[in-house]
């Protein structure tokens, strides 16, 4: 008749160490997954900041260019972009006011026009961007910025070219 094997204290110790190692390893995996998730969320917020910044810039441009009369003006507040009452029927240059995707708060830094009014916005965040190189075209001004507060979205009126008919 065979004798049943009993787990000695040393075997139980190995099982306990093995379980501890398993818990520690799973904790490391969860921490890594959490870090990647947080990074992905911040990258998505960065892309959203670009989208919202361009929306504000374009809305300011529409407000400016649709100013009745010859002398063009910039909006005095961001709120008028969603409800421009300079016309018989109010116009909406921006669907709604947006939160800053980085700070998740209302409020933007304001770039004032030399003639008065608002010609652009920027984030109030002092966080460093993930991507600070490789922007091209209308976004190339975002290259080499140290923090989101340096990302300006400004409408610059195009100079009027007058053709004098000369050769």
Residue-by-residue DSSP string for 35-97:
HHHHHHHHHHHHHHHHHHHHHHHHHHHHHHHT-SSSS----SSSGGGT-B-SSSS-B-SSSS-
pLDDT digits (tens, 9 = 90+) for 101-121: 999 999 999 999 999 999 999
pLDDT digits (tens, 9 = 90+) for 40-64: 888 999 999 999 999 999 999 999 9
Mean pLDDT for the stretch of residues 83-95: 93
Q: How far does Cα 14 stand from its chain's mean position?
A: 50
Q: Which pLDDT band holds residue 27 (cuts at 50, 70, 90)?
A: confident
Which pLDDT belongs to residue 106?
92
Mean pLDDT for the stretch of residues 83-94: 94
The pTM score is 0.77
């Amino acid at each position: 008749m065979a004798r049943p094997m009993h787990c000695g204290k040393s075997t139980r110790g190995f099982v306990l160490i093995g379980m501890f190692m398993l818990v520690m390893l799973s904790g490391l995996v969860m921490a890594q997954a959490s870090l990647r998730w947080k990074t992905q969320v911040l990258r998505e917020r960065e892309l959203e900041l670009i989208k919202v910044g361009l929306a504000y810039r374009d809305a300011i441009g529409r407000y400016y260019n649709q100013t009745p009369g010859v002398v063009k003006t910039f909006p005095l507040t961001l709120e008028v972009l969603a409800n421009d009452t300079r016309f018989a029927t109010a116009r909406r240059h921006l669907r709604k006011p947006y939160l800053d995707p980085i700070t998740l708060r209302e409020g933007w830094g304001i770039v004032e026009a030399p003639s008065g009014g608002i010609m652009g916005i920027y984030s109030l965040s002092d966080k460093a961007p993930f991507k600070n190189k490789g922007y091209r075209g209308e976004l190339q001004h975002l290259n080499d910025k140290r923090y989101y507060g340096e990302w300006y979205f400004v409408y610059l009126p195009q100079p009027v070219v007058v053709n004098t008919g000369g050769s």
